[in-house]
Structure 1
Amino acid sequence: MARTDGVASVMHVRVPAGLAEPAYREVLEVLAEISPVVQALPPGAAVVELRGALRYFGVPAARLCERARVRSLARLSVDLRIGLAPTWALAATASARTPEHGGLITVEPDQVGDFLAPLPVDALHGIGPVQANALTDYGIHSVGMLAALPPATIQRVLGGRAGRMAADRARGIDPRPVTPRSLPMSAAVRHRFERQEMDGATVRARLLDLVVRLAATLRSREQVARGLTLQLDFAAGARWTKTLRLPESSAHDEDLRAAAYRLMDRAGLQRGRLAGLLVRAEDLVAAGASAEQITFDHSREMRLRAEQAVDRANQRFGHGSVGPAALLHKAA
């Protein structure tokens, strides 16, 4: 059950769209000055538990939110969009309603129903476009209407787990705690094909692009992955998902590519029509906390140096400026 003990103490923060990774990290540092319980939600959000900070600073939670905004704006020239509420989902819903240039919306426990009721169902945090369309097809257009329905009815529309979550969120219930974490334990990249794709060479080229992007993201965060997940979305709505444990933690293109290709081979595709791909790096740890196998393979050392050069070029000229020859040829 969500906390409703008379205080809004969860702060959900959104940074401007497209903010660079170093600036995002600096925003996290500003938030950590307000409370040590900061959970990063890259690439552009974070959630903060203020309960301990309220006792430490002795000021209302809204004052702490404004303090975070002022410090971020003064030091980094980054204005924040902040929602303050008793639960994570409520705070995230509130932050999404703030102006694009920055602001604060506070939802106290006794204001939850009045705040949520008039919102369209797609404004509720955790409700995706597909779920929102399913609800509106049944005439459920507002969060207030959703909250008035029995949970069993919502489960019949959205399915068991999704229906339970939607019913809870519509009533302001979200039991998730804020877990201090500077960076997430996973990172994912996704591609949706413009039309159903059956060509194996095209799928492999797109998979390679996703792996290269994912590996570059991990290196920019100074993280390595211990596992890799491949998800194939088919045209008929079916989904195939498989996870592979890596022989050793890595954020290198060639290691993640080998794992992704092994997973693709396990899928055993013949003439399946693909609608999309997702590649997710699992069980992330800091690069400095992971041991790396010593090797005397000169060719691998040269490839890793080339990888570093590619990272520097793409950071300077934009992602995709330099990459595997197969991708550049495809783009041409």
Structure 2
Amino acid sequence: MSDTYEEPGILYLRFRKVGGGLPDSAGYAGLLALLGAFTPVVEAAPPDGALADVRGALRYFGRDAAGLAAVIRVRALALHGVDCAIGAAENPMLARMAARRAAPGMTSVVPGGGGAAFLATEPAVALDGVGAATARTLCGYGLDSVGRIAAAPLATLQRITGVRTGRELWERARGIDRTKVVPNAAARSVAAERSFPRDELDPERQHRALMSLAEELGARMRGDGQVCRALAVSVRYADRTGYSTLTRSRTLREPTAHSAELTGLAYRIHDSFGLQRARVRGIGLRAEGLTDRERVAHQLSLDPVDERARRIEAVADRLRARFGPQAVMPGRLAA
């Protein structure tokens, strides 16, 4: 049996409340239940996404992927006040990347067998599994786009990135993804968002929002015994068309849930946007690649300041667990 499908049968949905913002936890649960009315094969991608394998539903409802996506979008809007940007493709990777191209209220469909052509013009860093370090290595060999990665000999990619990674990149660049939609799978990411009451021009206040988000996600991961491998920052800002959203992610130097590490990387990603005096309405932070803390190693530091900060963080976590999340916070946030 083939690991890919000839026709689009996988949907990736990105949820956004009408007027901006992410659905709350109850609203998100309702959206997952809505998808469950179409197919039992639904994988949550909190806080604003979900994967759904609708191949059986296409036959049942007598519609193609775009037609079924339109029905889902209308119900999400009518019942939950949420608009959806939807990607439809033959596998989860292509569906996710198609959803990134789709505007709210739109569906981007990758035709069956058209994955390689769809990906060809994307930069190397946009490909699943390619972080900033791998992208720099690939670009150093002239492989700066997915199309060029796909055209490179497999042996060349394996010499550059290693046997296993090279094989995975070679397949993904051709639109091949061997993962499945896994119902009730453990969350692979965790995210939070801050909205400003009005367009915010002050970079300092934007940094304070990022620190608050990093503290929140770090405490949540530490409480669950998890660490993350990468961070993604999303900035919603005003432009000529109304509001647009920029998202950029980077890999951490090692998996961590340490708030100071998360904050530092979040600042660097935010500064890399070069927004300067942009009118920012909201900022989001997503911790990606979650894994159990016991499954990764921490490089011991000889820096006494770092070790002291981690001990203080552990004490603060215990105080928050006993007296509430506002019991202890950085002085910069309390000001």
TM-score by length of 1: 0.61
The correspondence of residues 133-144 of structure 1 with structure 2, limited to 5 A, is 133-144=136-147
The correspondence of residues 308-319 of structure 1 with structure 2, limited to 5 A, is 310=324
2:86 maps to 1:82:
yes
2:28 maps to 1:14:
no
- The one of 42, 49, 65 aligned to 1:45: 49
Assess, with a 3 A threshold, how the Cα gap between structure 1 residues 142 and 230 changes in structure 2: closer, same or farther.
closer
Counterpart position of 2:303: 271
- The one of 106, 109, 123 aligned to 1:106: 109
Counterpart of 1:148, as a letter, is A
SS of residue matched to 1:179: coil
The correspondence of residues 121-140 of structure 1 with structure 2, limited to 5 A, is 121-140=124-143
SS of residue matched to 1:48: strand
- The one of 162, 165, 178 aligned to 1:162: 165
2:186 maps to 1:184:
yes
Structure possessing the higher radius of gyration over alpha carbons: 1
Cα displacement (A) at 1:2: 6.1
Counterpart of 2:175, as a letter, is G
Counterpart of 2:15, as a letter, is V
Q: Is the CA contact (8 Å cut-off) linking 2:10 and 2:51 kept in structure 1?
A: yes
Counterpart position of 2:280: none
User: 2 CA distance for matches of 1:231 and 1:5?
Assistant: 31
Q: Is the CA contact (8 Å cut-off) linking 1:4 and 1:109 kept in structure 2?
A: no
Counterpart position of 2:205: none
User: 2 CA distance for matches of 1:263 and 1:6?
Assistant: 37
Counterpart of 2:13, as a letter, is V
Counterpart of 1:103, as a letter, is M
SS of residue matched to 2:82: coil
Cα displacement (A) at 1:23: 2.2
Count residues in correspondence: 246
The correspondence of residues 51-90 of structure 1 with structure 2, limited to 5 A, is 51-90=55-94
Q: Is the CA contact (8 Å cut-off) linking 1:34 and 1:53 kept in structure 2?
A: yes
User: 2 CA distance for matches of 1:270 and 1:209?
Assistant: 27
2:226 maps to 1:212:
no
Give the RMSD, CA atoms, in angstroms: 4.2
Cα displacement (A) at 1:241: 7.9
User: 2 CA distance for matches of 1:164 and 1:66?
Assistant: 36
Cα displacement (A) at 1:208: 8.1
Assess, with a 3 A threshold, how the Cα gap between structure 1 residues 54 and 146 changes in structure 2: closer, same or farther.
same
Cα displacement (A) at 1:159: 3.3
Cα displacement (A) at 1:307: 4.9
Cα displacement (A) at 1:145: 0.9
User: 1 CA distance for matches of 2:138 and 2:51?
Assistant: 28
User: 2 CA distance for matches of 1:106 and 1:207?
Assistant: 34
Cα displacement (A) at 1:85: 0.7
Q: Is the CA contact (8 Å cut-off) linking 2:4 and 2:176 kept in structure 1?
A: no
Assess, with a 3 A threshold, how the Cα gap between structure 1 residues 238 and 114 changes in structure 2: closer, same or farther.
closer
User: 1 CA distance for matches of 2:54 and 2:124?
Assistant: 28
SS of residue matched to 1:82: strand
Q: Is the CA contact (8 Å cut-off) linking 2:46 and 2:190 kept in structure 1?
A: no
State the identity as a percent. 33
Cα displacement (A) at 1:144: 1.3
Cα displacement (A) at 1:89: 0.7
> What is the CA deviation profile of residues 112-169 of structure 1, one whole-angstrom value per residue up to 9, with x for unaligned ones?
2321222222333343333223222221122111101122322333334332222111
Assess, with a 3 A threshold, how the Cα gap between structure 1 residues 152 and 8 changes in structure 2: closer, same or farther.
same
Counterpart of 1:32, as a letter, is G
Counterpart of 1:270, as a letter, is L
Assess, with a 3 A threshold, how the Cα gap between structure 1 residues 3 and 215 changes in structure 2: closer, same or farther.
same
